[in-house]
Amino acid sequence: MALEPERPEAPAASAPAAGSAGPAGADRAAGALYRKVAADLREAITTGAYGEAGRLPAEGALAEQYGVSRGTVRQALAVLRSDGLVTSRRGTRRVVLGTARVQSFSELLSFTHWAYSMGEEPGGILDSLVRRPADAAEREQLRLEPGSEVYVTVRLRTLSGTPVMVERTVYPPRVGEIVAQLPPDVVSHTEVLREHGILFTDADHTIDIVAANAEDARLLGCRRGGPLLRERRRTTDPTGTPVEWSQDRYLPGTVAFSVHNSLATSALSRHAREGD
């Protein structure tokens, strides 16, 4: 359904008449328009109108469909991209990621719990587990003394039988000793560790893109050197003690991450308001 078309602004008068919108009102109207387009597209995506991994119409077609400018469409698509609903590469139309595999960082969920919450069946296949001396980066992340050892696991993670991610996790000794006793096909390490009183309560995340190495290519069936979405994560327990240092590498298009930010939670904005 087309929205009301955008109209060119009338020439500005020397002063806006009482009750007129003025420039500020026009800005608000334009903002409301792209949000309406984003909301309509979001509903279409979540109801499956474009299918799994489908493509949205081109910007020009969407502008004509909704009776708005291309700039408004781009703003709406930027909202959907920040929500993890669509992605794009230069020269191609936006690809629908859908909502079934979008993970929010507003809450801390294990891969297993997140998969179940999305209606997927999680899987974990242990490829290797070794005990070795920690390197400098691992000692720093896990706050270990020089000469300490760590347990390192490499696992292939699946969603409903489909490979999506290679999980490489480094555990400090007290945690790794428990993990080393688990069956190789156990789905969730986190659940078992919780039963032993080891809780995962806080995490720092870093997201970037890396090239698949030979091990990634073998486990995921992707091309060596191809792009993978990497999430590096350090998780701590309620006392602030690190319990894992993990690096997860996802196949493109299999998952998306969303982050919610608020000005109200910004220390800088709080200080600004206090100074008013």
Question: In the predicted model, what is the mean pLDDT of residues 245-270?
Answer: 74
pLDDT at 17: 45
In this prediction the pTM is 0.61
Per DSSP, the three-state class of 51 is coil
Residue 97 is encoded by which pair of tokens?
């990621």
> Which of residues 13 and 185 earns the better pLDDT score?
185
Look up residue 214 and give its DSSP letter.
H
- Average pLDDT in the chain: 80
67 close to 167: Cβ distance less than 8 angstroms? no
- On the question of pLDDT at 1 being above 60, the answer is no
Residue 119 is encoded by which pair of tokens?
């209606």
- On the question of pLDDT at 13 being above 50, the answer is no
- On the question of pLDDT at 195 being above 70, the answer is yes
The answer to which of 87-96, 136-145, 246-255 has the lowest mean pLDDT is 87-96
Q: Which of 47-56, 96-105, 249-258 has maximum average pLDDT?
A: 249-258
pLDDT at 258: 72
The answer to which of 15-29, 55-69, 86-100 has the lowest mean pLDDT is 15-29
Residue 112 pLDDT class (50, 70, 90 cuts): confident
- On the question of pLDDT at 116 being above 90, the answer is no
Per DSSP, the three-state class of 19 is coil
Per DSSP, the three-state class of 256 is strand
* Token pair 């292939």: residue: 156
pLDDT at 111: 84
133 close to 148: Cβ distance less than 8 angstroms? yes
pLDDT at 15: 44
- On the question of pLDDT at 60 being above 80, the answer is yes
Residue 65 pLDDT class (50, 70, 90 cuts): very high
Question: In the predicted model, what is the mean pLDDT of residues 154-166?
Answer: 92
